[in-house]
A = this chain, B = another copy of it.
Amino acid sequence: MEKFEVTILGCGSAVPNARHMTTSQLVNVHDKIFMVDCGEGTQTQIWRMGARVSALKHIFISHAHGDHFFGLLPLVSSLSLMLCRTDDLHIWIPAEMQELLERCFSRWCYLPFTVVFHGIDPTRRAVLVDEKEFTVETVPLNHCVPCCGFLFSEKPKPPVLLPERCKAAGIPPRQFGKIKAGADWTLADGSVVPNSALTTPSDFVPRRYAYCSDTAYYPAVIPQIEGVDLLYHEATFVTADEQKATFAFHSTAAQAAAIARDAHVGRLAIGHYSIRYTGEDELLAEARQVFANTVAAQEGMVLEV
């Protein structure tokens, strides 16, 4: 199975502390590396963990709160200083941030490679990256500033060629590529052998990963993330602090789990913990009451999708 995994670099909320760094994660899809959010200290987490970022090509920033992007300038500075990078780096940010952030980069960051900024509209669904084997798209969320999550989706694989059937139909092997690509085959007498008779559907089940942070409880997200294999959903507060959650456009652990349950996801990882709690036991217990297959994200954790 090709690699599809999420590495948690930071899963705390607004202020880092001894237990948690602010938000960032690496998503490895078929050995292509993406970063989602980039709080302060993200590069330190990367160097400590020995995470592979030489191939990092896209960074997605969910919203304009510092705990999700203050590590961007330092990280890219260090990539410039340390690695013999020549590839472009694409940074996707809410469009309102673009002008000022570009100025900061051009003023305070020596860049031997090109940084391409892409302003996104967090309020609308859009495909940001469309690769041969997968896509990355926005997931509009409900926070106090424009904010979106990101959905990583493998594409279905094409049908598998049945060589014996092809040979029986007299198809020369050099034409097999066309059949693989979905073509029918026309015999000498003009009759057509449909592609479905020459191939069998792939048994590959595309996997999907959804990242939803930061957001209030927001059921409107459910249709878009329905059935994902892994959902990372913020769970800043416990239920006793639900009013605080509502006020700050954040979620409780139980609300995160309700989204997971109602969207029939495979597994839920909660994160973005408020520093008011000294551990994640209560958050995790509350979430598991609603959706059993829940883990509490921790720095260094690798989650397979």
A174 interface contact, C-beta 8 A: no
Task: Evaluate contact between A71 and B17: CB separation under 8 angstroms.
Answer: no
Majority SS at the chain A contact face: helix
Counting every copy of the chain, the complex holds 2
Using A40-B43, A104-B104 as known contacts, say yes or no to A66 and B77 having CB atoms under 8 A apart.
yes
Instruction: For A108, list chain B residues within 8 Å (CB).
Output: 64, 66
Looking at the complex, which one of B16, B66, B71, B73 makes contact with A47 (CB distance below 8 Å)? B16
Instruction: For A115, list chain B residues within 8 Å (CB).
Output: none
- With both chains docked as a complex, state the minimum distance between the C-beta of A80 and any C-beta of chain B, in angstroms: 10
Question: How many of chain A's residues have a CB under 8 angstroms from any CB in B?
Answer: 29
A14 interface contact, C-beta 8 A: yes
| Residues from 39 to 75 in A contacting B, C-beta threshold 8 Å | 40-41, 43-44, 47-48, 64, 66-67, 70-71, 73-74
Give 20 A-B pairs besides A14-B77, A15-B81, A66-B109 with Cβ atoms closer than 8 angstroms: A14-B81, A15-B47, A15-B82, A16-B43, A16-B44, A18-B47, A21-B44, A40-B43, A40-B74, A41-B44, A66-B73, A66-B74, A66-B77, A66-B108, A67-B77, A70-B73, A70-B77, A100-B104, A100-B107, A104-B104
Using A70-B73, A103-B100 as known contacts, say yes or no to A78 and B109 having CB atoms under 8 A apart.
no
Instruction: For A103, list chain B residues within 8 Å (CB).
Output: 100
Instruction: For A107, list chain B residues within 8 Å (CB).
Output: 64, 100
Instruction: For A47, list chain B residues within 8 Å (CB).
Output: 15-18
Instruction: For A43, list chain B residues within 8 Å (CB).
Output: 15-16, 40
- Please report the C-alpha to C-alpha distance between residue A41 and residue B107 in the assembled complex, in whole angstroms: 21
- With both chains docked as a complex, state the minimum distance between the C-beta of A10 and any C-beta of chain B, in angstroms: 11
- With both chains docked as a complex, state the minimum distance between the C-beta of A93 and any C-beta of chain B, in angstroms: 12
